[in-house]
């Protein structure tokens, strides 16, 4: 923001030039990024609906049980894959590309190719989801899409990833910011992950339990080395931007990045503790999981110290409120993950709803909330239109926050109770089921809250694309900020 | 950080280490285990699956059984799986060399199926798949009625018609319920799930 003194300064060309540069970048990113956001929100709605069906089927098993394509064992993987590849990946690609363009200070070149890649990505998700519902699921967790859908996704992704790396290659000279490291790494790690499992699990499946190891190496790293870096890149960008001060410590960000790269990639086998594998393989993952305390504490301190003294801004900035919710959930999810990997605790929580709660803490409370926050920041810059209603954002936030807290709370408590019942040799199996029942009802209710939040967000996004509502000259905030100069960057 | 070669090499090497450890090593070792001959019985173990049971794995995958049923028995030092009767010994890599894919599972919303072939008959499995809640009170397993056909009895009842069905979906007089090919394959696969052989690397465990 230029002050009066600056604008009277004869050397004041730079801010104006910067503003033009930003406008040019945003214009070049408009169509591809809005395409990824729009399709992400579409898949979020589809995924929510599938989740509701799956959740209520656990309460009412007779529900919709005459059609093969609506059986629980197909709806559940259809939910997982639509939210992972349809929602989270598309949202992450949109946010990642926009951040990369802005931080590299280069416009998105040949955006039409990205648009084609985006269309193919969605085609892949559609074909894969229909394939699961039609009975072609692989039943390999996180990789249920049949072999005729995954190549479409891979080729589409290859273009997107290459675009991210090319932007980095053509960046304007200057410091490479921490968000760029994370994005660059994510753009490189994901195709490596996906190509490996496509070859070893889908096209030429390897033998026996080796599949399990490769499966969880992949599934855990999709969260750890694809979604997490994009989420953290967004947090590292949004928090300083909104409160208008630099990140607390450069050295902490270096430590956080490298320890994440080293330890997270080794975590996968903690999903298979006690499974048919050599002990060292499992132990390596348990150790790496506990070592995750290092990157997580580092990032948490760095973000907290940046925010210190500026928590007031949570009252007015939608972006910041979602982002800080996501950042705090990241700390919580990772702490929980490290503890769950300890074998004596894992023996209780393994095979229970506790794990489902944990995965929603990671993929929803952390990543999805982070993406909502980033979208509230980015979309007005792409459409040249401010969010029509602060109230809709408020409803979106509180429904999503209360829904996810209810979901994780009920699955966590219910999971522990279920886990003790499964552990106790004196308790029969059916008791573990009965004990979990009330918590599974609470989870279904939480699904209704979350779906409502998503419908509100989708409606609001539609208004943004159509530029509906009153023209506003200022960002849409929850309240008037205390310091007016900070409003400019909300 | 502006030393970009370092950034690239670091991104590459950190990830390559886990790729070598968690992908290449399992592929080269666990992925190449061979069956062995049981010295006591002279049988090749684990035993090969019948053609029908092999086809049953595809029905198992398509129906998503793995989302509620694990197929692994954890060792006694780590769990109570053996005390709870899931199996006489832990499962090891060699147990899965015939599985396509290895349905290890991560949930026990339903019971573990490692040794389900030792516990129930084909007749029970068919009735249970057709209407789980009638056979197992309180079960939340979905019914797999779409794997069965209800038809009018033509002359003598079919040999494979399900017997003793009760509940709202039991056939009316003059009708019978017969399994489709998929149902037969699935049940053949379920019956094949039994780890009742010994492996040198997995002796029967004493409960501590």
Tell whether A147 is within 8 A of chain B (Cβ). Answer: no
pLDDT in tens, A337-346: 999 999 999 9
- Whether residue A168 is predicted with pLDDT greater than 80 in this model: the reply is yes
Kindly list the residues from chain B whose CB atom is less than 8 angstroms away from the CB atom of residue A138: 61, 101
Percentage of chain A beyond pLDDT 70 is 95
Is B68 a member of any domain?
Answer: yes
Q: Which of A225, A271, A422 sits opposite B106 (nearest CB)?
A: A271
Pull the structure tokens for residue A246. 């630099």
In chain B, residues with a C-beta closer than 8 Å to the C-beta of A352 are: 107-108
B62 vs B74: CA distance, rounded Å = 26
Interface test with A, best of B19, B75, B109 (most A CBs within 10 A): B109
* Residue B103 domain-assigned (yes or no): yes
Predicted pLDDT of residue B40: 82
Report the gap between the CA of B57 and the closest CA in chain A (Å).
10
In this prediction, residue B1 carries a pLDDT of 59
| A304-336 pLDDT tens trace | 999 999 999 999 999 999 999 999 999 999 999
Structural contact between residues A279 and A260, judged by C-beta atoms closer than 8 angstroms: no
Contact B107 A425 (CB under 8 A): no
Nearest-CB residue to A347 (from B27, B79, B83):
B79
Give the confidence band of A449 by pLDDT, cuts at 50, 70, 90.
very high
At B39 the pLDDT is 82
CB contact under 8 A, A137 and B1: no
Q: Which residues of A touch B93 (CB under 8 A)?
A: 208-210, 276-278
CA dist B185 and B13 (Å) reads 46
Q: B87: which chain A residues are within 8 Å (Cβ-Cβ)?
A: none
3-class SS letters over B148-163: EEEEECCCCCCCCCCC
Give yes or no for residue A481 having a pLDDT over 90. Answer: no
Predicted pLDDT at B4: 82
pLDDT of residue A12: 54
- Cα–Cα distance, A377 to A399 (Å, whole number): 20
A156 contacts A120 by C-beta, under 8 angstroms = yes
| Per-residue pLDDT, A174 | 86
Looking up residue B86, the CATH number of its domain turns out to be 1.10.760.10
Closest residue to B15, CB basis, from A201, A265, A276: A265
- Output the pLDDT for position A480: 84
> How is A294-342 classified by DSSP, letter by letter?
HHHHHHHHHHHHHHTT-GGGGGT-HHHHHHHHHHHHHHHHHHHHHHHTS
- The reply to whether A64 touches chain B by the CB within 8 Å rule is no
Q: Is A271 on the interface with B (CB under 8 A)?
A: yes
In degrees rounded to 5, what are phi and psi of residue A316? -115, -25
List the domain range (segments joined by +) for residue B115: 44-192
| Best CA proximity match to A191, nearest among A270, A112, A282, A93 | A93
Which residue of A lies nearest to B93 if distances are taken between CA atoms?
Answer: A276
Asked whether the beta carbons of residue A210 and residue B93 sit closer than 8 angstroms, the reply is: yes
Do residues A178 and A257 touch, judged by C-beta distance below 8 A? yes
Counted residue by residue, chain A has a size of: 490
Q: Residue B26 is nearest to which of A57, A135, A210, comparing CB atoms? A: A210
Nearest Cα of chain B lies from the Cα of A426 at a distance, in angstroms, of 8
367-426 in A: which are within 8 Å (CB) of B? 422-425
Q: Is the pLDDT of residue A2 over 80?
A: no
* pTM given for the model: 0.94
How far apart, in whole angstroms, are the C-alpha atoms of residue A145 and residue A74? 11
pLDDT attached to residue A410: 98
Q: How much is the pLDDT for A1? A: 45
Is residue A143 within 8 A of residue A222, CB to CB? The reply is: no
Q: What is the pLDDT of residues A397-446, one digit of tens each?
A: 999 999 999 999 999 999 999 999 999 999 999 999 999 999 999 999 99
- Chain B residue with minimal CA distance to A273? B74
> Residue A349: which pLDDT band, with cuts at 50, 70 and 90?
very high
Within 8 A of B18 by CB-CB distance, chain A residues are 217, 221, 265-266, 268
Q: Which residues of A touch B109 (CB under 8 A)?
A: 58, 353, 433
Domain count of chain B?
1
Mean pLDDT of the residues in chain A: 94
User: By percentage, how much of chain A surpasses pLDDT 90?
Assistant: 90
At A188-241, the pLDDT tens digits run 999 999 999 999 999 999 998 999 999 999 999 999 999 999 999 999 999 999
pLDDT for A354-404, tens place per residue? 999 999 999 999 999 999 999 999 999 999 999 999 999 999 999 999 999
Write down the pLDDT at residue A468. 92
Mutating which of A69, A79, A139, A437 best tests the B interface, going by the most B Cβ atoms within 10 A? Answer: A139
Residue carrying the six token digits 């503890």 = A339
Task: Considering only the beta carbons, identify the residue of A66, A140, A350 that sits closest to B101.
Answer: A140
Q: Cα(B154)–Cα(A378) distance, rounded to whole angstroms?
A: 68
How does B71-83 read in b/e, with b if 16+ C-beta sit within 10 Å?
Answer: bbbbbbebbbbbe
Instruction: Give the pLDDT band (50/70/90) at residue A487.
Output: very low
Inform me whether the C-beta atom of residue A277 falls under 8 Å from chain B C-beta atoms.
yes
CA distances from A89 to A44, A82, A104, A363 (A): 11, 10, 21, 11
Nearest residue in B to A202, CA atom:
B101
Could you give the domains of chain A?
22-174 (1.20.120), 310-490 (1.20.210.10)
CA distance B150 to chain A (A): 13
**Selected residue with higher pLDDT from A490 and A118:** A118
Q: Chunk chain B into consecutive blocks of 10 residues (it has 208) and report each block's average pLDDT, rounded to whole numbers.
A: 82 95 94 90 92 96 97 95 94 94 95 97 97 94 96 93 93 96 98 92 72
Distance of CA A182 to CAs A224, A260, A471, B7, Å? Answer: 11, 10, 36, 10
- Give B44's DSSP letter: E
Predicted local confidence at residue A227, as pLDDT: 98
Distance, CA of A83 to CA of A68 (rounded, Å) = 22
């Amino acid at each position: 923001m230029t002050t009066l003194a600056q604008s009277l300064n004869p050397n004041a060309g730079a801010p104006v030039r910067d503003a033009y540069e930003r406008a040019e970048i945003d214009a070049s990113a408009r169509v591809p990024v809005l395409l990824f956001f729009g399709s992400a929100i579409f898949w979020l709605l589809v995924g929510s609906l599938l989740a509701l069906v799956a959740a209520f089927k656990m309460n009412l098993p007779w529900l919709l049980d005459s059609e093969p394509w609506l059986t629980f064992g197909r709806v559940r993987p259809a939910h997982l894959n639509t939210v992972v590849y349809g929602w989270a990946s598309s949202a992450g690609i949109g946010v990642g590309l926009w951040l990369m363009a802005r931080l590299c200070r280069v416009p998105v070149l040949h955006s039409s190719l990205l648009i084609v890649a985006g269309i193919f990505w969605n085609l892949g998700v559609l074909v894969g989801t229909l394939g699961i519902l039609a009975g072609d699921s692989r039943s390999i967790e996180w990789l249920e899409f049949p072999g005729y859908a995954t190549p479409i996704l891979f080729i589409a992704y290859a273009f997107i990833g290459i675009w991210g790396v090319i932007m980095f290659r053509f960046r304007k000279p200057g410091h490479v910011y921490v968000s760029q490291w994370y994005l660059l790494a994510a753009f490189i790690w994901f195709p490596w992950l996906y190509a490996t499992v496509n070859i070893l699990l889908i096209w030429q499946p390897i033998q026996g339990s080796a599949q399990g190891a490769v499966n969880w190496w992949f599934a855990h790293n999709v969260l750890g080395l694809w979604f997490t870096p994009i989420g953290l890149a967004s947090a590292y960008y949004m928090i300083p931007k909104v409160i208008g001060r630099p990140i607390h410590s450069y050295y902490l960000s270096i430590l956080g990045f490298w320890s994440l790269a080293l330890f997270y990639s080794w975590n996968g086998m903690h999903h298979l503790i006690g499974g048919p594998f050599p002990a060292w393989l499992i132990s390596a993952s348990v150790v790496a999981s506990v070592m995750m305390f290092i990157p997580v504490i580092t990032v948490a301190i760095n973000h907290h110290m940046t925010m210190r003294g500026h928590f007031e801004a949570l009252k007015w900035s939608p972006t910041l409120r979602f982002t800080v919710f996501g950042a705090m959930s990241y700390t919580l999810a990772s702490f929980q993950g490290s503890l769950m990997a300890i074998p004596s605790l894992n023996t209780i929580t393994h095979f229970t709803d506790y794990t489902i709660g944990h995965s929603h803490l990671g993929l929803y409370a952390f990543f999805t909330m982070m993406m909502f926050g980033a979208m509230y920041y980015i979309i007005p810059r792409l459409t040249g239109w401010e969010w029509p209603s602060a109230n809709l954002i408020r409803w979106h936030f509180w429904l999503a926050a209360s829904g996810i807290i209810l979901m994780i709370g009920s699955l966590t408590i219910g999971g522990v109770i279920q886990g003790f019942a499964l552990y106790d040799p004196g308790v029969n199996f059916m008791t573990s089921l009965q004990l979990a029942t009330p918590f599974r009802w609470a989870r279904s209710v939480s699904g209704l809250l979350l779906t409502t939040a998503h419908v509100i967000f989708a409606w609001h996004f539609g208004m943004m694309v159509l530029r509906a509502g009153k023209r506003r000259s200022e960002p849409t905030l929850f309240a008037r900020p205390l310091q007016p100069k900070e409003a400019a960057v909300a | 950080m502006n030393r970009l070669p370092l950034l690239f090499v670091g991104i590459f090497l950190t990830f390559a280490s886990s790729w070598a450890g968690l992908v290449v090593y399992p592929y080269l070792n666990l992925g190449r285990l061979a069956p062995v001959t049981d010295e006591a019985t002279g049988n090749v173990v684990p035993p090969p699956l019948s053609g029908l049971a092999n086809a049953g794995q595809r029905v198992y995958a398509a129906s998503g059984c793995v989302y509620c049923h694990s197929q692994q028995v954890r060792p006694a030092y780590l769990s109570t799986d053996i005390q709870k009767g899931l199996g006489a010994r832990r499962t090891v890599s060699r147990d899965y060399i015939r599985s396509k894919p290895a349905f290890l599972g991560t949930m026990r919303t339903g019971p573990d199926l490692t040794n389900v072939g030792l516990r129930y008959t084909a007749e029970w499995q068919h009735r249970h798949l057709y209407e789980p809640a009638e056979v197992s009170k309180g079960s939340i397993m979905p019914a797999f009625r779409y794997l069965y056909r209800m038809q009018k009895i033509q002359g003598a009842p079919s040999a494979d018609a399900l017997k003793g069905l009760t509940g709202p979906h039991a056939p009316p007089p003059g009708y019978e319920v017969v399994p489709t090919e998929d149902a037969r394959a699935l049940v053949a696969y379920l019956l094949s799930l039994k780890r009742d052989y010994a492996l040198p690397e997995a002796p029967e465990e004493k409960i501590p």
